[in-house]
Structure 1
Amino acid sequence: MVAQQADTSLLANDLIDGSDRRDRTNLPIRTQLLLIALECWSAACAICLLVATCALWIPSANREIPPIPLITACVALGPAWDVMALLSLTLGLFGLSSCSVWTLSLCLIRSKGEELPKYAVAAHATVLRTHLLTLRPSNLYTVRRVSLWLIVAGGMTLVLLDQLRLQAWFFQLLLFCLVFLLPTPELRLKWLQMMVISIYAYSAIGKLDYQFLNTVGQDFLQAMVRTFGMDCQNWNGTVRVLLASGFPICELMLAAGLCFVRFRRLTGWAACLFHLTLLWLLGGQLGHSWGVLIWNLQFAVQALLLFALPTARPGNLCFVFSTIGKHSLATDLTLAEQRVRWFAPNFLIQACLVLAIVLPATERLGWWDHWPSWALYAPHSSRVQVWVAPHVGESLPIALRQIIEQSTKDQPENQVNTGIEIPLATWSLQVLGVPVYPQARYQLGLSRHLSTIIHDQYAIRAELRSFAGRLEGGRTIQELFNADQIHSASAQFWLNSQPRSFRSKSNSP
């Protein structure tokens, strides 16, 4: 039995690490299989999320909301680039999920189910026994790494071509793929745990402010107490704010509990319960989109695979410093000789991961975007409010006109005549199935697009609003009174706010 488990562990090493070294890992086979299962689960959820938000990824000249590249150099690129990048991403996701399933099946077959948990034995696919045993581990290893690089390359290209694609779940996918490229299971487990802990921590910190506690947090609280037949609208304001703060405090407690070995497995189960509760709250009570629900389900299972079920204990907070050392960050561990190579792939990958963990701390300074900082359901983000004159309403895109008609039908006529507010968030959800990118830079790009299709530079105005203060919720407001001022305001941003040039100028009939 011991010999069979050792043989299975070596097989997992060969399949995932592509090496004949026999001292590569000290992780139990159960934990290695859980890491492989996490790769499969991440790829499967990404495929589901791509399908749920397909309008965002498929290029179309008839799309009402134009793609706004992340950098100016991509503005002139045509839709063929989107197609090639999407093909690369799709091939990579299917390749990664297939390799993970094959690897799990081979390991389970070799182990014959001994000393493995019941859920792993149940996952043993009998239909795969007949042909998977003939596959060579080196082939699976090569396909797996090529698939991961295809995902990273295709995903980064898609984001460069349209910054709205930098959804929080997609950013997490790219980071996880970089972690999966690291050479040893121990290193992958450490970085995955650090990454998830940082997500919980930054998400909680982003919500502990005036805006969340008095807006979105109140919506969450009202939806929760309504289940018990209560209405919190008449409760004391201070009490309601304190109760709303329970949501980010729970996230902060999860982040703290996952940092310590003694509480890690229990906190992993608590994180799973937390996301299942969010599934019920966001889906059953607030009617959020499929993308939100799928991502929360992904986090629930992810908490089990990373924290609740593994038997390995890589350590508590001190493993952050042990990971970033001479023998991991600056060393190419795929080499037999442990030589320092400061430009080795493993060094560059881990340098990117360090930045992904550190840079969200600069979000409130305006140096890092809100979604990559895990500011989720945090309404303090910078934004743009846009108004157009009523006489140019017929020039607007069809879906946007329908949204405006629905939202203004109960408003007094004199209020409508002063200007029609453009609901950018609702427009994005209806046309693309995703929330509008919570960044003033991107929303200014949408304003620029609208200014080009109404053909009257004085029929549009906008307000550029900074992120809200943490304690009082105040914002700095810059007023833009015509199309020229809207275009000129783009110069204050480091990144691009100009829509792609191949888009059609109008979607009006």
Structure 2
Amino acid sequence: MSQYDRESPVKWRRLVQLLALGHMSLIVATWPLWIPTAAFPRVPLIEAAGHGGSSVESLCLALLLASLTGMIFGANPPVQRVAAVGLGVSTLALIVINQHRLQPWAWQFVLLSLILAAADGQTARRAWQWLVISIYFWSAWSKVDVAFSATHGYFMLAGYCKSLGLLSLCEGLPKPVVTTLPALIPLVEFLIAFGLAFRSTRRVALVGATVMHVGLILALGPLGHGHQPGVLIWNLFFLIQNGCLFAKARAELPDQNVVSSEPVAPSDPVARPVVLGNRLATVIVAAAMLWPAFEAFGYCDHWPAWAVYASHPERVTVLVPVDEIAKVRPALDQYLAPHWSNDEWYSIRIDRWSLDAVRAPIYPQDRFQVGVALAICEQFGLNRISVVIEGPANRWTGKRTVNQYPDRAAVEKLARSFRCNAIPHQGVSPQKMQEPN
């Protein structure tokens, strides 16, 4: 066994297995999202990826499952490191084929798989810690806006009250209280982020994080809003992950399993992989921590910026004219509603369709949802379609700009204007469209 693989072998292996079990649980919970299926429109991250056959996706999925198996049952660190690389590469490939798969947990696991593949146990643990801290920080920052308290913040509060049988009490609260209470959610996340960053406050922050995730499981679980299992599993993963990473006050002390406490010269050929791997892991986590700062400028998507349950992302409404409604029935009948401002159009609730069809929330980026609109056009043979986009909410006023694209040509032109691809997969016929469960 090389010096590279003797660094904290027991602790490092436990981190690898934790990651693999979490990833596998969420893949199972959102299985329809990861298989080559027409249950919901697919929009590749790169347009060329939309022209490949299902065999490429099947191969990537097979590599992903084989990598997870290797990470859980691998007999030695080299096997598990190779499996971690396979997990990161296969998950990224599947995301490129369909950007709907860029769920926040999937992005976290891609980063962690590359970190664990590169670093020794001590460096991997610290990198993982800082990634978690950054998730709490940027998640809190994404909720610091006036729209959150009135929308998603109140939604969480209502779900929590419902789970405790106090929904009537919540609905009867004065408006100032209803506005103020949801604003405590980002404050708690900020305190958790800063508390976990320092050893002296880590234990208190860990308790706060535990209470917050238990509250989210109550609010979003069967007793609350009854969301799909994926969001509950990710919160459960955070509870276990935080205990493994932050529970012990000695987390930052040298690992007792390290073979030698003497520093190893970087020039030593045996030590060189350790040094390079640790540097690579540091670069990965540093980039992941800084990239969300560019969300406001449009250079980072909302979910990679950890804007989870944020209220400021764009809102996209897909409209179908009344005279073409018959074409999308019965497949989408339960997601149709007369448009509130124009009775000549029906809106399609693509967010609910996503939850039912692939058991995962719709990717919140406007380009993806524009691609979904074009896929609906193609798959159902529609001659007309319209898209209304409400731009990102102003953080301090909540105001949005509204743009309407009245026909298919305008929507196609819009799809070509995004930095990343918004053109859906080609060649999916209406007959292949699966009705939601």
- TM-score normalised per structure 1: 0.77
Confirm or deny that 1:451 pairs with 2:377.
yes
User: How far, CA to CA, are the matches of 2:45 and 2:252 in structure 1?
Assistant: 40
Q: Give the C-alpha shift of residue 179 in structure 1.
A: 1.6
SS at match of 1:170: helix
Among 80, 85, 92, the residue aligned to 1:144: 80
Match among 390, 399, 407 for residue 465 of structure 1: 390
1:93 partner letter: L
Give the structure 2 partner of residue 84 of structure 1.
59
- Between 304-313 and 232-241, the greater mean CA deviation after superposition: 232-241
Contact 1:186 1:314 (C-alpha < 8 Å) held by counterparts: no
Once the two structures are superposed, what CA deviation does each residue of 1:262-297 show, in whole Å capped at 9, x if it has no partner? 111332233223212221221021111100111100
CA contact (8 A) 1:440 1:465 kept: no
The one of 182, 185, 207 equivalent to 1:247 is 185
Instruction: Tell me, in whole angstroms, the C-alpha distance in 2 between the residues paired with 1:338 and 1:431.
Output: 48
Tell me how far 1:43 sits from its aligned partner. Answer: 1.0
Aligned to 2:138, the other structure's residue is in SS state helix
Tell whether 2:151 aligns with 1:215. Answer: yes
Whether the 8 Å CA contact 1:201–1:255 is kept in 2: the answer is yes
8 Å Cα contact 1:397/1:507 also seen in 2 = no
Distance (Å, rounded) in 2 between the aligned partners of 1:16 and 1:240: 57
Matched, 1:384 2:371: no
Q: Residues 87 and 340 from structure 1, CA distance in 2 versus in 1: closer, same or farther, beyond 3 angstroms?
A: closer
Code of the aligned partner of 2:24: I
Report matched runs for 1:477-492 at 5 Å: 477-492=402-417
Alignment of structure 1 residues 272-291 onto 2, 5 Å: 272-283=210-221, 284-291=223-230
Whether the aligned pair in 2 keeps the contact of 1:266 and 1:308 (CA below 8 Å) is no
Question: After superposition, where does 1:176-195 map in structure 2 within 5 Å?
Answer: 176-195=112-131
> Residue 485 of structure 1: SS of its match in structure 2?
helix
Residues 211, 398 of structure 1: CA spacing in aligned structure 2 closer, same or farther, 3 A cutoff? same
2:180 maps to a residue whose letter is L
Question: What is the rounded CA distance, in whole Å, between the counterparts of 2:423 and 2:267 in structure 1?
Answer: 43
Whole-Å Cα distance in 2 between the matches of residues 268 and 494 of structure 1?
39
Q: Which has the larger radius of gyration?
A: 1
Taking a change above 3 Å as real, the CA distance of residues 184 and 53 of structure 1, as seen in their structure-2 partners, is same
Aligned-pair CA distance for 1:418: 2.1
Alignment of 1:293-442 (within 5 A): 293-309=232-248, 311-313=250-252, 335-336=269-270, 346-396=278-328, 398-404=330-336, 417-442=343-368
Letter of the structure 1 residue corresponding to residue 410 of structure 2: Q
**TM-aligned CA distance change 1:204 to 1:481, over 3 Å:** same
Tell me the alpha carbon deviations over residues 12-42 of structure 1, each in whole angstroms, 9 at most, x when there is no partner.
Answer: xx599425xxxx56xxxxxx64543232122
**1:73-94 Cα shifts (integer Å, max 9, x gaps):** 2121111110111011111111
Shift of 1:162: 0.2
Classify 1:351/1:313 alpha carbon distance in 2 versus 1 (closer, same or farther; 3 Å).
closer
Q: 1:370·1:438 contact (CA, 8 Å) conserved in 2?
A: yes
TM-score normalised to the size of structure 2? 0.89
Residue 382 of structure 1, CA deviation: 1.8
* Deviation (angstroms), 1:392: 1.0
- Determine the C-alpha separation between the residues in 2 that align with 1:506 and 1:468: 38
The list of structure 1 runs, each at least 4 consecutive aligned residues, that deviate by more than 6 angstroms after superposition, is 331-334
SS where residue 170 of structure 2 aligns?
A: coil
Equivalence for 1:495:
420
Residue number in structure 2 paired with 1:102 = none
Q: Which amino acid in structure 2 is aligned with residue 475 of structure 1?
A: R
- For the residues of structure 1 that align with 2:433 and 2:206, how far apart are their CA atoms? 51
Q: Using a 3 Å threshold, how does the CA distance of structure 1 residues 213 and 77 change in structure 2: closer, same or farther?
A: same
State which of 31, 35, 52 in structure 2 corresponds to 1:58.
Answer: 35
Q: Name the amino acid aligned to 2:201.
A: F
Deviation at 1:243, TM superposition (A): 0.7
How far, CA to CA, are the matches of 1:44 and 1:87 in structure 2? 16
* Change beyond 3 A, Cα 1:163–1:339: closer
SS at match of 1:50: helix
Letter aligned with residue 73 of structure 2: S
Cα gap change, 1:332 to 1:55, in 2 (>3 Å) = farther
Letter aligned with residue 231 of structure 2: V
Secondary structure, aligned partner of 2:105: helix
* More displaced 10-residue stretch of structure 1: 293-302 or 278-287: 278-287
- Tell me how many residue pairs correspond in the alignment: 423
**Paired AA for residue 450 in structure 1:** I
Secondary structure at the counterpart of residue 221 of structure 1: helix
CA contact (8 A) 1:207 1:378 kept: yes
Structure 1 unmatched ranges of 5 or more: 1-13, 26-31, 100-138, 316-326
What do residues 360-396 of structure 1 show as CA deviations (whole Å, max 9, x unaligned)? 1111221100011111111211232111111211212
Q: Which runs of 5+ in 2 are unaligned?
A: 255-262
Q: Which amino acid aligns with 1:312?
A: A
Kindly indicate whether the alpha-carbon contact (under 8 Å) linking 2:119 and 2:281 is maintained by their aligned counterparts in 1.
Answer: no
CA contact (8 A) 2:4 2:273 kept: no
Q: Which amino acid aligns with 1:400?
A: L
Amino acid at match of 2:174: N
Is 1:332–1:345's contact at 8 Å kept on the other side of the alignment?
no
